[in-house]
Homo-oligomer: A and B are copies of this chain.
Amino acid sequence: LQALILAGGSGTRFWPLSRQRNPKQLLALEGNQSLLRATLERLYPLVEPRSVWVCTTEALAEQVRRELPEVPPQQVLLEPEARNTAPAISWSVVSMPEEARRGVVAVLPADHRVGDSAAFRDTLERAARVVERGDQVMTLGVLPRRAETGYGYLELEPGEGQDGVRRVRRFVEKPSAENARRFVASGNYLWNAGIFVFRGSTLLEILRRLQPELARRLEEIAAAPHRLRELYARLPVDSIDYAVMEKLEDIATLPLDCDWSDLGSWEALDEVLPKDDGGNTGRGDRLAVEARGNLLFADAGTIAVLGIEDLVVVRTGDAVLVCPKSRSQEIKKLVSELAAKHREDLL
């Protein structure tokens, strides 16, 4: 089993902690380990370091290699630029040696949270066996624990195959609150976690059929690797979901129940952190008096709060963020303002 970890993200959702040079996957949001490092370690012992591939950008190369010293350096693949997941995954597969590519590849985002690593490995191993046997494209869908409107869903066909395998009827975009409630109540939906398992060679065949332009351009790159920068810039920007997965007639899934979160915002992080006696969560040096339900994240220095509720307060060495927890999805507005003001020092 080969693991392909996607670590090229440059999200702004954890600003001011996340920066262009220090994006979410490199942050230790929960414990002392970066999300990237945790993504690798939870694969052990199912996947060995020599079977791990990491796709990231040139800008992050040094930090990614430092986080994952046991991954062979030539298997840390550097995109000249980020062009979404369809180019990242398919180029990574093309870059693997023939033998690896013919084997089973698990695609894993580098910036998610998994509470129960053993359950995660178990489901991943079962999915890999299904792929080995049937040359199937699989996705791991997360058993929904609440009517979340921030995730995409997988609608399932009725009935269960061998080993609990389910067929995916369709991919559903982030739903309304009402639809989310209906989905979860029905028991026929899973959260789309962006985890895919397939033979590399199978993905390339599918690409030739569904995305012939992308497939042709990847062949160009394989034939002229010295022209990577020039040719990569011509790959169509697209997500693997949209370019491939949603178009497949035959995609299977195994429900994943492993205390998963995409950690998509400060509020999502707050949900998985333990609450202190005062009902606040946080990290670092902090003091809360008559304050409840806040996330207080001190990366540097001290946070002291009095009488506030349901706020996010984040302190880094150079900045502080304060916003209501319920609006932490909107932090990109602040980041956009900073970009408009050319505050590269804070981006």
Contact = CB atoms under 8 A, between A and B. Distances in A.
Interface of A: 16, 287, 289-290, 301-308, 311, 313, 315, 317-324, 327, 330-331, 333-334, 337-338, 341, 346
Nearest to A346: B302
Contact of A302 (B308, B313, B320): B320
A191 to B, nearest CB: 27
B323 A320 contact: no
Contacts of A322: 303-306, 308, 311, 313, 322
25 contacts: A16-B302, A16-B304, A287-B337, A289-B333, A289-B337, A301-B318, A301-B319, A301-B320, A302-B318, A302-B319, A302-B320, A304-B319, A304-B320, A304-B334, A304-B338, A305-B323, A306-B321, A306-B330, A306-B333, A307-B323, A307-B330, A308-B311, A308-B323, A315-B320, A322-B322
Contacts of A319: 301-304
B337 A321 contact: no
Contact of A334 (B287, B301, B313): B287
Contacts of A338: 287, 304
Nearest to A313: B322
A322 B295 CA distance: 12
A287 B308 CA distance: 20
A307 B324 contact: yes
Contacts of A331: 306
